[in-house]
């Protein structure tokens, strides 16, 4: 179980749109999907080629309760907003397959 004292920040869940655009692809709009309490850990950063130039990509480890992630229906196509940062979710891991702790690997483009 994750300690409640570690869950210091509110994360706003931004749910991806399910309506297709004119080409039949998923549109890139997001709507408010609720809140979960999270813990942010150990960012790492690297410079990478991004779009027309170079950008700093920060990787974050976000931890939360598995039940909270399931309650809001969070998936890898959604986004999280934590402390003014918009994070893209790379993966969601059910730690030890115990349905208690969710570990989210996230990226922030700065």
Domains of the chain and any CATH numbers = 4-109 (2.40.10.270)
What predicted TM-score, i.e. pTM, was given to this entire model?
0.84
- Length of the chain equals 110
Distance (Å, rounded) from C-alpha 71 to C-alpha 19?
22
In 10 A of CB 24, how many CB atoms? 6
Q: What average pLDDT does the structure give for the chain?
A: 89
Burial code (b: 16+ CB inside 10 Å, e: under 16) for 41-79 equals eeeeeeeeeeeeeeeebbebebbbbbebbeebebeeebb
Instruction: Report pLDDT digits (tens) over 20-69.
Output: 777 877 777 888 889 999 999 878 888 888 788 898 889 999 999 999 99
- What local confidence, expressed as pLDDT, does residue 109 receive? 76
26 or 74: which leads in pLDDT: 74
75 token code pair: 């998936």
């Amino acid at each position: 179980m994750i300690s409640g004292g570690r869950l210091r920040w509110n994360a706003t869940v931004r749910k991806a749109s399910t309506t297709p655009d004119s080409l039949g692809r998923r549109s890139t709009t997001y709507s408010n999907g609720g809140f979960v309490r999270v813990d942010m850990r150990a960012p790492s950063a690297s410079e990478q080629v991004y779009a027309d130039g170079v950008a700093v990509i920060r990787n974050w480890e976000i931890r939360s309760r598995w039940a909270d992630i399931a309650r809001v229906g969070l998936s890898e196509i959604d986004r999280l907003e934590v402390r003014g940062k918009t994070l893209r979710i790379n993966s969601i891991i059910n730690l030890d397959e115990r349905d208690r702790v969710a570990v989210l690997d996230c990226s922030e483009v700065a």
